[in-house]
Amino acid sequence: MATSALAIATAKPLTHRFSNSKHSSSPSFSCSCSSSTPLPPPNEPKLSFSSKPVAKQCVFNVGVGLLATSLLACSPLEADATRIEYFATVGEPQCELNYAKSGLGYCDVIVGSGVEAPRGELVNIHYTARFADGIVFDSSYKRARPLTMRIGLGKVIKGLDQGILGGEGVPPMLVGGKRRLQIPPNLAYGPEPAGCFSGDCNIPANATLLYDINFVGIYSGNAK
């Protein structure tokens, strides 16, 4: 349901030095790819080396270096996914709930500075939805994009309509605002379980739901 700022970790390019120096202080992918047979020092037994195994070892070392580079190049994507999961599973800062006559609990973590949510129009929101025990059951952050929904016409549960659009003592949300909602069963899915598929239901009956709402903006595709 503000666009999430995901910091993408950038990896410094990995450089490989191919050297046969004996005085290198840091590990490097080193090999001698010469086909000539090195001369042993005097007073040491002469050993016969074939150039082919050395060449194979060199190719192997290069392959290991390329594999390490490819794994390192993948790390920004992994960091991105980690941050999406992070934003989906941790809550906004705590705030003290106020309660409307309907039973809806609400409080503003950040009061926005934009326009109000217009009734009947499409809006973009980021959200994280939890049960009363704090377990996350849905989140737009896991999908890495805000949810576009029509507000004020009963297209979503009553608690979201009232919590975003306002009414009955609840102030309307403004673009850029973040609000926490505690939605009682009568403003959520009531006495029936919801989110059911093949007999399994994601939301039990009479569930109180907690929503962290981030009002990203008005959907640009609304008819003028």
Residue type (1 letter), 59: V
The mean predicted confidence, pLDDT, of the chain is 73
3-state secondary structure string across 85-135 = HHHHHCCCCCCCCEECCCCCEEEEEECCCCCECCCCCEEEEEEEEEECCCC
User: Model confidence at 220, in pLDDT bands (50, 70, 90)?
Assistant: confident
Tokens of 141: 């952050």
Read off the pTM: 0.61
> Looking at the domain assignment, is residue 203 inside a domain?
yes
User: Model confidence at 83, in pLDDT bands (50, 70, 90)?
Assistant: low
> Looking at the domain assignment, is residue 56 inside a domain?
no
User: Percent of the chain, pLDDT > 70?
Assistant: 58
> Looking at the domain assignment, is residue 188 inside a domain?
yes
Give the pLDDT of residue 188.
96
Region 75-104: mean pLDDT is 68
> Looking at the domain assignment, is residue 109 inside a domain?
yes
> Looking at the domain assignment, is residue 15 inside a domain?
no
Region 73-84: mean pLDDT is 48
Instruction: Identify which has the larger pLDDT, 25 or 195.
Output: 195
Q: Which domain holds residue 159?
A: 98-216
**CATH assignment at residue 130:** 3.10.50.40
Number of domains within the chain: 1
Give the pLDDT of residue 87.
56
Q: Residue 138: helix, strand or coil by DSSP?
A: strand
> Looking at the domain assignment, is residue 114 inside a domain?
yes
> Looking at the domain assignment, is residue 43 inside a domain?
no
Instruction: Identify which has the larger pLDDT, 29 or 92.
Output: 92
Q: In whole angstroms, what is the distance from residue 147 CA to residue 141 CA?
A: 9
